[in-house]
């Protein structure tokens, strides 16, 4: 028989929570509007991927309609990245950061940068009707691994940046721990855009399509790794830089705009491998 004589729990009326629930759940208009824009872009990108899959109609050749829909989905993911950069920037500039905003941002990110890229690659390369026969049975698993790592990366970020875990007066490392999810999605989207513009039909695409599953697994590993990547959160109107660094950033931005298909892919890959090279260099110097 269960013990029914358990004394009632005493409530400490003097306890004050370290965070005010009303303040933590406050919804600030502009930052959360940007997050809603991020979520909208991700949702529409998912719809575009599904429509592109049906536009194939079981054909072995990527139709013009399907290619156009996949291209729109890619640009929607880039749009989500822009909204994601703006929401945090507006919150920090206005001093309007809240726990609600952080959680809302992660929920939007899992759609725009987790589900949308995973569906895009699955339908375009790994689905049962297209792609290499080797991937037909495990295509869904590769997509899920990417989605799972993106979710874990976002959950870990929310935990390690929680205000209750920050020690007052102790400087915080501004670098990202693991590859940021928006950069991971942007790399996948940039590669899809490059392949769509490179290949006129499915057979040409298949010669290059093997890159996507391999890159997705590398990105998934990097998202949950301990490799640190530079963050631009500390950059504001007061930030100073060298002239050569400024010129380098301007040239990179100009190249990405001018050569959209290859420029964006090169920028994303350069960021990924910069973090890897720096990580191995630091470990070698410590060792």
Q: How confident is the model at residue 51 (pLDDT cuts 50, 70, 90)?
A: very high
Helix (H) or strand (E) holding 122: none
Report d(CA 106, CA 38) in Å as an integer.
10
Report for 51-65, 120-134, 181-195: range of highest mean pLDDT? 181-195
Q: What is the mean pLDDT of the chain?
A: 79
The model's pLDDT over 4-13, given as tens digits with 9 standing for 90+, comes to 566 666 665 5
Residue 237, SS3 per DSSP: coil
Give the residue numbers spanning the domain of 108: 27-163+174-238
What is the pLDDT at residue 17? 63
The model's pLDDT over 188-203, given as tens digits with 9 standing for 90+, comes to 999 888 888 776 545 5
What is the pLDDT at residue 12? 57
Could you identify the residue written with the tokens 């941002």? 105
The model's pLDDT over 236-260, given as tens digits with 9 standing for 90+, comes to 555 556 667 667 767 777 766 777 7
The model's pLDDT over 160-190, given as tens digits with 9 standing for 90+, comes to 887 666 666 656 667 888 899 999 999 999 9
Q: How far apart are the first and last CA of the chain?
A: 60
Per the domain annotation, does 1 fall within a domain?
no
| 25 vs 278: which has the higher pLDDT | 278
Q: Which own/partner contact pairs does 259-263 have at CB distance under 8 Å and 24+ positions apart? A: 260/193, 261/190, 261/193, 261/194, 261/197, 261/198, 262/194
Per the domain annotation, does 275 fall within a domain?
no
Task: Give me the CATH number covering residue 106.
Answer: 1.20.120.1760
**pLDDT, mean of residues 16-45:** 78
Residue 159, SS3 per DSSP: helix
Helices (H), 57-121: 64-94, 99-109, 116-121
Task: Report CA 268 to chain centroid distance, whole Å.
Answer: 12
Per the domain annotation, does 45 fall within a domain?
yes
Q: How confident is the model at residue 133 (pLDDT cuts 50, 70, 90)?
A: low
Report d(CA 90, CA 11) in Å as an integer.
40
Report d(CA 120, CA 128) in Å as an integer.
14
**pLDDT, mean of residues 19-38:** 74
**pLDDT, mean of residues 62-81:** 90
The model's pLDDT over 204-233, given as tens digits with 9 standing for 90+, comes to 555 666 677 788 889 999 999 999 998 866
Per the domain annotation, does 243 fall within a domain?
no
Please return the burial class of 286, using the count of CB atoms within 10 Å of its CB with bins 0-12, 13-18 and 19+.
Answer: exposed
Number of structural domains the chain divides into:
1
Per the domain annotation, does 286 fall within a domain?
no
Q: How confident is the model at residue 73 (pLDDT cuts 50, 70, 90)?
A: very high
Residue 1: is its pLDDT beyond 80? no
**pLDDT, mean of residues 85-92:** 78
What is the pLDDT at residue 42? 96
Q: Indicate the pTM of the whole model.
A: 0.83
Per the domain annotation, does 245 fall within a domain?
no
**pLDDT, mean of residues 72-100:** 83
Q: Quick one: what percent of the chain has pLDDT higher than 90?
A: 29
The b/e string for 169-199 (b: 16+ C-beta within 10 A; e otherwise) is eeeeeeebbbbbbbbbbbbbbbbbbbbbeeb
Q: Provide the angle, in degrees to the nearest 10, between the axes of the packed helices 260-286 and 181-198.
A: 140
Per the domain annotation, does 11 fall within a domain?
no
Per the domain annotation, does 270 fall within a domain?
no
Please return the burial class of 230, using the count of CB atoms within 10 Å of its CB with bins 0-12, 13-18 and 19+.
Answer: middle
In DSSP terms, 176 is beta-bridged to 229
What is the pLDDT at residue 194? 84
* Closest to 143 measured CA to CA, from 51, 190, 212: 212
């Amino acid at each position: 028989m269960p013990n029914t004589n358990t004394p009632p729990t005493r409530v400490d009326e003097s306890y004050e929570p370290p965070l005010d629930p009303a303040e933590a759940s406050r919804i600030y208009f502009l930052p959360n509007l940007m997050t809603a824009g991020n979520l909208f872009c991700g949702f529409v990108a998912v719809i575009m991927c599904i429509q592109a899959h049906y536009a194939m109609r079981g054909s072995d050749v990527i139709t013009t309609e399907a290619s156009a829909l996949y291209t729109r989905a890619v640009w929607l993911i880039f749009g989500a990245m822009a909204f994601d950069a703006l929401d945090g920037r507006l919150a920090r500039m206005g001093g309007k950061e809240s726990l609600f905003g952080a959680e809302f941002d992660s929920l939007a990110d899992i759609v725009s940068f987790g589900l949308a890229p995973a569906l895009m690659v699955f339908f375009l390369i790994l689905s049962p009707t297209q792609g290499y026969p080797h991937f037909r049975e495990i295509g869904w698993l590769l997509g899920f691994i990417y989605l799972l790592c993106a979710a874990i990366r976002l959950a870990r970020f929310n935990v390690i940046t929680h205000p209750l875990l920050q020690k007052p007066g102790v400087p915080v490392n501004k670098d990202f721990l693991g590859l940021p999810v928006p950069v991971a999605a942007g790399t996948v989207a940039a590669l899809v855009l490059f392949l769509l513009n490179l290949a006129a039909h499915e057979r040409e695409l298949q010669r290059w399509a093997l890159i996507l599953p391999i890159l997705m697994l590398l990105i998934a590993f990097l998202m949950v790794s301990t490799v640190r990547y530079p963050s631009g959160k500390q950059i504001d109107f007061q930030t100073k830089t060298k002239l050569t660094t400024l010129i380098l950033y301007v040239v990179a931005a100009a190249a990405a705009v001018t050569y959209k298909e290859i420029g964006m892919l090169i920028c994303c890959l350069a960021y990924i491998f910069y973090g890897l090279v720096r990580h191995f260099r630091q470990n070698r110097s410590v060792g």
